[in-house]
């Protein structure tokens, strides 16, 4: 089964969420969260931080990620892991392929302008209601 990650990055003030505007399929022309593929044998948190850095220039020091949820699609033989983080300090974004944009949390993330058949709206609501998930330190048994 292929494993992908999807990364939700909130602004310092928690009022915006980082998106990319897809320039190629899947979801060409739609707003999507950043993320990518987990390589075989790669630690999943390391893969999320790698993809975050490759697509945005945001480092592990600038935003601590938590693992919030997974979507498993048996009909597509893949799992998408969802990570959530918040910027700790201002950063200069560096686009890899897809243009990056901060969008207000007042947006309707269930709208057809967003990729994922409503999943982005669902993920945003999960963060609002239940928080961001488990951090790497907790998951691996390390202390803070």
Express each pLDDT in 1-10 by its tens digit: 999 999 999 9
What tens digit of pLDDT does each residue of 66-103 get?
Answer: 999 999 999 999 999 999 999 999 999 999 999 999 99
CATH topology of domain 2-139: Nucleoside Triphosphate Pyrophosphohydrolase (3.90.79)
Residue 68 backbone dihedrals phi, psi, to 5 degrees: -95, -45
In eight-state DSSP terms, residue 90 is -
What residues does 135 pair with on adjacent strands? 66
Q: d(Cα 41, Cα 83) in Å, to the nearest integer?
A: 19
CA distances to 26, 30, 71, 83 from 104, in Å: 24, 16, 25, 19
pLDDT at 136: 77
pLDDT at 137: 62
Q: What is the mean pLDDT of the chain?
A: 94
Strand 31-32 and strand 2-10: the pairing is: unpaired
> Taking the domains of the chain in order of start, what are their residue ranges?
2-139
0.85 cut: is pTM over it? yes
Q: d(Cα 53, Cα 44) in Å, to the nearest integer?
A: 14
């Amino acid at each position: 089964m292929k494993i992908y990650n999807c990364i939700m990055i909130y602004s310092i003030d928690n009022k915006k969420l980082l998106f990319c505007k897809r320039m190629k399929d899947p979801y060409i022309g739609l707003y999507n969260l950043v993320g990518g593929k987990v390589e075989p044998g790669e630690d999943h948190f390391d893969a999320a931080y790698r993809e975050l850095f490759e697509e945005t220039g945001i480092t592990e020091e600038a935003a601590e990620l938590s693992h919030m949820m997974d979507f498993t699609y048996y009909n597509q033989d893949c799992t998408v892991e969802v990570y959530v983080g918040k910027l700790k300090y201002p950063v200069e974004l560096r686009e890899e392929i897809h243009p990056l944009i901060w969008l207000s949390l007042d947006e309707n993330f269930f709208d057809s302008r967003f990729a994922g058949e409503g999943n982005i709206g669902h993920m945003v609501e999960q963060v609002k209601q239940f928080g961001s998930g488990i951090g790497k330190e907790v998951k691996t048994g390390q202390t803070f």
